[in-house]
Amino acid sequence: MALYLNQDRGISMTVVGAIILLTGLCSAAVQLASGALCDRIGRRPLLIASMMSGTALFGVMALLIEADAPVWAIISIYTGVRCAIVMANPPIQSMIVDQCPRERLAEANGLVRIGGNLGWAMGPALGGFLLATMHYSWLFGVATLMRGVALVFALVMVKESFLGCREHIELRSIFRAAEDRRFLSFTLLALLLFVAMGQMSTTLSVYTVERAHFTDAMYGSLLTLNGLMVVVFQYPVTRALQRATKKTALILGSCFYAVGYFTMSFVGAYPVALMSMAVVTMGEMTISPTTLSVVGELSPPTWRGRYMGFYGLSETIGVSTGPLLGGILLDGFPHGSFSIWGVIAGAAILAAIGFSLWKPYRVSGKRVG
């Protein structure tokens, strides 16, 4: 979307970043409500609703882009697409915690990420190929087909893992997860990391294609490297991290992000970009399963969806704010590189410092992390 709006529709990256932020805020509200609902009616109904609406909206997006529809119409449907996608996050993450022993949560989240990243590895490679030969609309057409296939699998294979609770869930109860101060401080620190993570599919795409003069396929191969590394190394990395505390893993992952993004300043040669992406991916493999396992351990069983929804709120806001920050930096420093990636790396450094000061927490009287 960032490349399409910037290159095909001539919208500045600052405006593109603002658009992604606004659509992200809408989807964050949906994700928060989804977390509360999956504590009330169960996980599976929300997952199926997410996949059905997402499939339909991706199809509409493909038609609008093919018809060169007004930008406001495309952005409106794009907002719906993002809302449909994030609606699935709390039920999926809650299902993992429902069915997995606490001591193996990081390992389970790592395994699930391997499946997701098989798609993440293949998607950009296919996208780069399609962009070289076809119109942008075909990318969303393929996405529609893939989501349709996934929907069929979900309808046939996914079983409910939670039967709901008798508690009447009000709107204000959605935010009560924030009353857990250790959880709230953890979520705010994770927000800084999400701002850095949000650069991968927006700032990085425009920077490598316009500034470093990579082809769309070369940029797609960076994301493919990211996905393949997760597929190959996520499980052994997660097993190795079991020897360390979660606090150590969070600090280490934040530092990987900082180093990886800062070295993007030197990107000009393609091998340097590959090396930087490899370091960023090490941060992702360290952080992602660890943060989800922390949330799972902190959340009471009947509040699991709301904790996941509130954590997802910070994730959505962070990855949506990231493109706005990146767009401002790209437009503000048209010939700069250190200024751009130094600021982004600084967010990850602040997260590392914060995690180093974050106090251990307790679950059921036991010291964890």
The answer to whether 298 and 307 have CB atoms below 8 angstroms apart is: yes
pLDDT tens-digit map of 205-221? 888 888 888 887 888 88
Query: Is 336 strand, coil or helix?
Result: coil
pLDDT tens-digit map of 226-283? 888 888 898 899 888 888 888 999 999 999 999 999 998 887 788 999 999 999 999 9
In this predicted structure, what is the pLDDT of residue 39?
80
The answer to whether 265 and 224 have CB atoms below 8 angstroms apart is: no
At 367, which helix (H) or strand (E)?
Answer: strand 366-368
In this predicted structure, what is the pLDDT of residue 174?
67
Domains of the chain: 2-160+174-360 (1.20.1250.20)
User: What span, in angstroms and rounded, lies between the C-alpha atoms of 308 and 326?
Assistant: 27
3-state helix, strand, coil in the chain (%, to 5): 80, 0, 15
Tell me the pLDDT of the chain averaged across its residues.
84
Looking up tokens 């998607």, which residue turns up?
A: 123
Full-model pTM: 0.73
User: What span, in angstroms and rounded, lies between the C-alpha atoms of 234 and 129?
Assistant: 26
pLDDT tens-digit map of 68-119? 888 889 889 989 988 998 888 888 888 888 888 877 887 888 888 888 777 7
DSSP state, residue 212: S
Token duo for residue 312: 């997802």
Most confident segment among 23-27, 34-38, 192-196: 192-196
User: What span, in angstroms and rounded, lies between the C-alpha atoms of 21 and 323?
Assistant: 7
User: What span, in angstroms and rounded, lies between the C-alpha atoms of 164 and 44?
Assistant: 11
Q: Where in 1-71 does DSSP place strands (E)?
A: none
In this predicted structure, what is the pLDDT of residue 49?
92
In this predicted structure, what is the pLDDT of residue 7?
78
